Amino acid sequence: MNANPDEICAKPKKIAVQPMPSTMPIHTAAVYECESAQHAGDLLSGETDGFVYQRDGHPNAVVLAEQCRQLHGGEEAGVDFAVVTSTGMSAMSLAIVSHLKKGDHLLLGNQLYGRTTRLIAKELTRWGLEFDEVDMCNVDQVKAAVRPQTRMLVVETMANPLLHVADLPSLSSISQKQNAILLVDNTFATPLLTRPFAFGADLVIESMSKILNGHGDVMMGMLCGKKDSAERVKDAISTWGMTASPFDCWLVSRGLATAHLRIDRACENAMRLAQFLETKKRIQRVFYPGLKSHPTAAMATKLVGPTKFGNVLSCEFTGGLRDVEAFISLSKKIAFCPSLGEIATTISYPRTTSHRGLSAQTADKLGITDGVIRISCGIESAQFLENEFGLVLNAMDEISP
Ligand SMILES: Cc1ncc(COP(=O)(O)O)c(C=O)c1O
């Protein structure tokens, strides 16, 4: 007898799995069966717990968001909600579009991830937002730039690529006086090194495409905050269509399970490599907040350390772009991958990737010269990294002493 395609296609069989599976299943359903019209209404309005439509929410997103909220300290730390989004950029967009309106003014760190600056400068100004860029490590400059319409300060805990650590407590008191929101992008620090709510943040975003997932196979963002933001954020995430997919949430939940171990190892590697590179004559400067020579070393000890300072460092070659190109072409085991937070160590070149929106003059002024590369440490052994970097630097010396 032929199977009836109407039955097979319209109603695939569901089975109740018993005993409970030992890992979280992936709930791919786009829509859920409701018991009645009233039930659907109650679910959608939040009167009853449960799910209706994947864009509004699904179990894998709820589980991952709660993991994120707990990593940031949960209720005890005043973190009332967390949501996960399709990318880090959508978390940043969500934080802004759910809180600001036409005519509002933002103060942006002048070394933000390039796309964040572009989001505000190129996209959101068309919707009537205004902004200024300031050095978030210079509190007087920030105070002077505040306008009556300033409603948000956007800062990275450790600004990419020179890893300047912002004075979050001072920025928080400036924003409180102004009745503005302090929005912190904590991607480079992660909640395992810094919990920005402890230093006065109102909203925190992270790109979990980086070390929190850690395996280089997912795009994902996270936004968490306090009670008064929860409803508007939860509404906006569905309205703007920023929901993360169940499979991606499942992968990131799995990545988070080992994040503390990977981050410990990667931080150790970054510190060792920073110290190693500081001894090399071809390297003019090493930027790592764990080094005494870093301009924000003291703030880093207070906000990020005292023993771990992140997996990213940057260094500047004495020979500028010529040295950078030689390094990339001679380096056989360290891939040039313009992202960060992978299992393997990678390098990137901010002038043509994350910060390509800056003019050469502005980038030079900020210290992101044409000789600067950014290194994202993975979880190899520190010895492997010293050998690899040492070999490439020696080969460069042989070609051009
Ligand atoms: C500091 C920082 N914030 C946000 C983002 C955006 O994250 P995503 O690529 O997940 O959209 C990035 C991406 O590189 C980043 O480096």
Q: Whose CA is nearest to atom 16 of ligand 1?
A: 113
Closest Cα to atom 8 of ligand 1: 88
Pocket test for ligand 1, best of 92, 187, 349 (most atoms within 8 A of CB): 187
Q: What is the distance in A from the centroid of ligand 1 to the CA of 331?
A: 25
Which atom in ligand 1 lies closest to the alpha carbon of residue 209? 10
**Per-residue pLDDT at 1 exceeds 60:** no
Q: Which of 270, 229, 288 is nearest to 100 (CA)?
A: 229
Instruction: Note the pLDDT of residue 388.
Output: 96
- Ligand 1 centroid, distance to 292 Cα (angstroms): 27
Q: Which atom of ligand 1 is nearest to the CA of 208?
A: 10
- Per-residue pLDDT reduced to its tens digit, 156-197: 999 989 999 999 999 999 999 999 999 999 999 999 999 999
Contact 85, 242 (CB under 8 A): yes
Q: Please determine, for residue 14, whether its predicted confidence score (pLDDT) is greater than 90.
A: no
The ligand 1 atom nearest the CA atom of 221: 10
Ligand 1 proximal residues by C-beta, below 6 Å:
87-89, 113, 156, 160, 185, 187-188, 207, 209, 219, 221
- Residue 12's pLDDT is 65
Mutation choice for ligand 1 from 85, 89, 203, CB with most ligand atoms inside 8 A: 89
Choice between 5 and 213, residue whose per-residue pLDDT is larger: 213
Beta bridge partners of 53: 31
For residue 188, give the ligand 1 atom closest to its CA. Answer: 1
pLDDT (0 to 100) of residue 7: 74
- What is the band of 381 on the pLDDT scale with cuts at 50, 70, 90? very high
pLDDT of 3? 74
Task: With a cut of 70, say whether residue 332 has pLDDT above it.
Answer: yes
Percent of the chain with pLDDT over 90: 90
Q: How many angstroms separate the alpha carbon of residue 210 from the centre of ligand 1? A: 8
pLDDT band at 70 (very low <50, low <70, confident <90, very high): very high
Domain-by-domain residue ranges, the chain?
55-256, 259-399
Residue with more model confidence, 7 or 208: 208
Among 111, 115, 160, say which to mutate for ligand 1: greatest number of ligand atoms within 8 Å of CB.
Answer: 115
Q: What is the pLDDT of residue 65?
A: 98
Asked if the 259-399 domain carries CATH number 3.40.50.1860, the reply is no
Atom index in ligand 1 nearest the CA of residue 339 equals 14
Nearest atom within ligand 1 for CA of residue 90: 11
Mean per-residue pLDDT, 335-355: 93
Tens of pLDDT, residue by residue over 142-160, are 999 999 999 999 999 999 8
Percentage of residues in the chain with pLDDT exceeding 70?
A: 99
Higher pLDDT, 3 or 42: 42
Using the mean position of ligand 1's atoms as its centre, give its distance from the Cα of residue 92 in Å: 9
Length of the chain: 401
Q: List the residue whose alpha carbon is closest to atom 9 of ligand 1.
A: 88
Determine the atom of ligand 1 nearest the C-alpha atom of 92.
4
Percent helix, percent strand, percent coil in the chain, to nearest 5: 40, 15, 40
Q: Give the C-alpha distances (Å, rounded to integers) separating 134 from 111, 183, 344, 358, 396.
A: 9, 15, 34, 14, 38
The pLDDT value given to residue 17: 87
Average pLDDT value for the chain: 95
* Sign, CA torsion 397/291/375/377: positive
pLDDT (tens digit per residue) in 90-107? 999 999 999 999 999 999
> What Å distances lie between residue 105 and 22, 99, 222, 372, CA to CA?
49, 12, 24, 32
* Token pair recorded at residue 59: 């179990």
Could you report the per-residue pLDDT of 305-330, keeping only the tens digit for each? Answer: 899 999 999 999 999 999 999 999 99
Give the pLDDT score at 117. 95
Ligand 1 center to residue 65 CA distance, Å?
18
Residue 394, number of CB atoms within 10 A of its CB: 12
Tell me what pLDDT residue 352 has. Answer: 94
Atom of ligand 1 nearest to the CA of 112: 1
Atom 10, ligand 1: which residue's CA is nearest?
A: 88
Enter the CATH code of domain 55-256: 3.40.640.10
* Atom of ligand 1 minimally distant from the CA of 91: 11
For ligand 1, the distance from its centroid to the CA atom of residue 207, given in whole angstroms, is 5
Find out whether 103 and 151 touch, Cβ atoms under 8 Å. no
Give residue 113 CA to ligand 1 midpoint distance, Å.
Answer: 7
- Would you tell me how many other CB atoms lie within 10 Å of the CB of residue 74? 14
3-state secondary structure 44-109: HHCCCCCCCECCCCCHHHHHHHHHHHHHCCCHHHCCCEEEEECCHHHHHHHHHHCCCCCCCEEEEE
Coil, helix or strand at residue 372: strand
Taking the C-alpha atoms of residue 48 and residue 120, their distance in angstroms, rounded to an integer, is 37
Confidence of residue 54 (pLDDT cuts 50, 70, 90): very high
The model's pTM: 0.95
Using DSSP, state whether 185 is helix, strand or coil. strand
* pLDDT confidence of residue 15: 83
